[in-house]
Structure formats: C-alpha cells, structure tokens
Amino acid sequence: MEWDGLSLDWNKTKAFLQCAETGSFSAAAKTLNSSQATLSRQVASFEKELGISLFSRSVHGLELTSSGLQLYKHAHQMGESAYAFSLAASGQSESLVGTVVISVCELDAIYRMPPIISKLRLAEPGITLEIVVSNLTSDLKRREADIAIRSFRPSQGQLVARKLGEEEIGLYASTQYALDYNLELNNKAPLDALQIIAFDQSKIIEEQLLVKNIKVNSDNFKTITANQAMQIQLCKRGLGLVYLAQDMAAQEPELQAVFCDSGSLICLPIWIVCHEDMQHNAKIKRVFNFIANELSHYFTGQE
C-alpha cells in the first residue's frame, strides 16, 4: 500500500460520518461526546481539504450532497473496520483490571442481578462493573456493551451465546384486585372489566391469552407503559393485571397469580451474549462465566 500521498485525518472523517448518520451537528456531538462548534469546524476543514461540499445545510439539519453520499459509503466501511480493529485489540487483554459493561433489562436489574453483582464485586475487586439498564437491545458489535442478558438467541454472526435457563411468565394481580374481581385461581370469567397493564395493545398478547382460552380485546388494555417497574407499581395499586416472571413475582408478596390452571402463559429462554472477539479478553471472560454460572444455578433452583 502506498502511504506517501495519504493525509487523511480520522477525527475529521469520524465527524463527517456521525453528522451524516445523525443529520445534525448537535446529535453527532452527543454521540461523540464533543461540542457542536468543534464538529462544525472539523467538517468545514474537511470540506476545504477535500475541495468539495459534503453537506447542504438548512433549518432541517444536514443533508448529504451527491459527493458526500459517495464518500459516506467509504467512510462507513472505515468506521466498521475501526470497530472491528478495536474489538480484536480489546479481546487480547489478559488483565483482570478495568471496566466491563453489562447490559440488562429493567426487571433483571431489579430482581436478578443485584446479588450476583454483589458477589462478583467481592470476587473481582479490580474489575469495575458498569450496568446499562435498558429494554432495548445493546449493539455488542459497536461496543455499546461487552456482555448482554437477553430473552432471545442472537441471530447476528460474530456473537457468542450461552443459554442460562427459561423464565415462566404469568399474569398477576394485587390481592385486593383479585378479591374485587373474584379472580380465584381457576376463574376465567368475566373478563370484560379486567385491565391488563402492558407495553402496548398488541394483538400478540391477545393471541397468547387465547391459546389458554382467555379471551381479551383492546378494551382490556387501557393503561400502557414501556416501563416494567411502573407496570408492577400500577398493578399493586389495583389498576390491573401485569405480566411477570414467576421468580420475580415470588419476591412481591402483594401480588398473587391468576388463571394458574392455565400454567405459565409465556416461556422465554434466557441467554448471556458477548462478541466473539471479546471471549479472549480475561476480564470479560471472567465476568461472562461468573454471571453465566450464577444465573444458571438461579434458574435451576426455580425448577
């Protein structure tokens, strides 16, 4: 490869790439932990060096010019290669000192992970544990997290996954709500007045319940929130039923199972996942195996 004629500034290229992907200097600045003014200067300098206009600017933000679009394709490939290089380099570390980022959903963070994190901190005081709590799927290829706990097997290549167990999910009500609506364990009627607190009014929920001969419709979903912790609190206050894993419900004495004769309504596998390049990183491998063993024992104990 000839390097003599190459004078590309990666920081300016990265600024261009993020501005193209986010559509504004302000959004790109947040992504890169920089300032809007800095990125504006970098892009302007980059355009001057290249001798072309990369963006058309308007009140609606930044839009790639035809020249900018052509260069974006190459910059995007550079970005992917940079991520791959970073992953491969990080994966060679043999140190048990440093930060490991773990991505978990809201309810795992509340009910399952605290005792495991406590044990891990005692076992490995040199490792700093950063816990990302979100119901969104972290992109392990882009290092949004090193390790993730998921309720589905990853379909992406380059990811290593281990199944930890299965969670049984049912419907739960506050004790008072169960009494008010005569929700004995085997009672399925009447359902017209019952409310289910859920993420949305998805037809998927209706179909899942119908399999168990529990018939509901959109009128049964009048309280919607994506925050699972809030769903549980609303359930405790008598606003309706809530979907909850059996092991988590066991930690909530104010809640009781309903429609138990139908068995668990949903059964989901639980997986621990990391990028294949990171399985050779000593601290990530240690955290991965520790959490995997602890959660495997946890789910075995629920059976």
Residue 2 binned pLDDT confidence (cut-offs 50, 70, 90): low
**Do the domain assignments include residue 145?**
yes
Mean pLDDT, residues 13-29 taken together = 87
**Do the domain assignments include residue 3?**
no
Show which of 56, 90, 124 is a domain's final residue.
90
Gap between the Cα atoms of 194 and 291, Å rounded: 39
Chain-centroid distance, C-alpha 164: 17
Does position 3 have pLDDT exceeding 50, yes or no?
Answer: no
Q: What is the pLDDT of residues 273-284, one digit of tens each?
A: 988 877 778 899
**Do the domain assignments include residue 285?**
yes
273 lies in the same domain as 262: no
Q: Please, what is the end-to-end C-alpha distance for the chain in angstroms?
A: 60
**Do the domain assignments include residue 134?**
yes
Amino acid at 76: H
Q: Which domain holds residue 43?
A: 10-90
Gap between the Cα atoms of 295 and 235, Å rounded: 27
Gap between the Cα atoms of 116 and 107, Å rounded: 14
Residue 179 binned pLDDT confidence (cut-offs 50, 70, 90): confident
pTM of the model: 0.67
**Do the domain assignments include residue 4?**
no
CA distances to 121, 188, 190, 290, 295 from 259, in Å = 40, 7, 12, 36, 28
Mean pLDDT, residues 199-215 taken together = 75
Tell me: cis bond preceding 190? Omega within 30 of 0 counts. yes
Q: What is the pLDDT of residues 241-286, one digit of tens each?
A: 999 999 999 999 999 998 876 556 788 899 999 888 777 788 999 9
